[in-house]
Chain A
Amino acid sequence: DAGVTQSPTHLIKTRGQQVTLRCSPKSGHDTVSWYQQALGQGPQFIFQYYEEEERQRGNFPDRFSGHQFPNYSSELNVNALLLGDSALYLCASSLDSQPQHFGDGTRLSIL
């Protein structure tokens, strides 16, 4: 039973570019949440998708957007990349009130 998978594992972009990160949830899960984790800090909640709609959002600008597909997979898009967007981006999936399961993340570096 595959857990949460994220792609790519590493990515290098330059300032001003746009990036798309992908997440496949654990089998049977229908909710996907995205987190940003800067070096040495805990993950920060970006937003959550359920039934293909954004259900909750953290304190992140509109440059961060997402999408959920009918098969429950999800994408995180970041526009106009800034140096401060360099971080580990984590995807977590869940079903109802069960604990979230996390992927191993995408390491995004902005030059």
Chain B
Amino acid sequence: DAKTTQPTSMDCAEGRAANLPCNHSTISGNEYVYWYRQIHSQGPQYIIHGLKNNETNEMASLIITEDRKSSTLILPHATLRDTAVYYCIVRVARTSYDKVIFGPGTSLSVIP
């Protein structure tokens, strides 16, 4: 079973920030938080990951709470192309335990 819970769906106005929450209350100390997204008819695309510090890259920012039980993915200026299903995953990042368990994700709709 997935170890994360996410809202089923969210809407966001184009040009505004999209904040996607994720709960992972049973996360272990050696598990990272990963975010992927899947645009219709494509494979999942890696967005960002982090352990306990906030992370930022060219696609998004990841904010992890101090107790690591929840996180938020932030798309700073959402565009119509950001409409997708977003998956939050916890994963032990070691070569022998690379299994990725997906939940149903959050369907984000960016509205013009």
Contact = CB atoms under 8 A, between A and B. Distances in A.
Contacts of B87: 42
A103 B43 contact: yes
Interface residues of A, number: 26
Given A31-B98, A97-B93, A103-B43, 10 more contacts: A42-B2, A42-B85, A44-B102, A45-B100, A56-B98, A58-B99, A94-B98, A100-B46, A102-B36, A102-B45
A1 B49 CA distance: 23
Contacts of A45: 99-101
B99 A43 contact: no
B44 A90 contact: yes
A13 interface: no
Nearest to A47: B99
The 6 A-B pairs of least Cβ separation, nearest first, read A42-B102, A102-B43, A97-B93, A99-B46, A104-B43, A102-B44
Interface in A30-66: 31, 33, 35, 41-45, 48, 50, 55-56, 58
28 contacts: A31-B95, A31-B98, A33-B98, A33-B99, A41-B104, A42-B103, A42-B105, A44-B102, A45-B99, A45-B101, A48-B99, A55-B96, A55-B98, A56-B98, A56-B99, A58-B99, A90-B43, A92-B43, A92-B100, A94-B98, A97-B93, A97-B94, A97-B98, A99-B46, A99-B49, A102-B45, A104-B43, A105-B43
Interface string A75-96: 0000000000000001010101
Nearest to B43: A102
Interface residues of B, number: 25
Contacts of A55: 96, 98
Interface string B38-50: 0001111110010
A44 B105 CA distance: 13
Interface string B1-23: 01000000000000000000000
Contacts of A96: 95
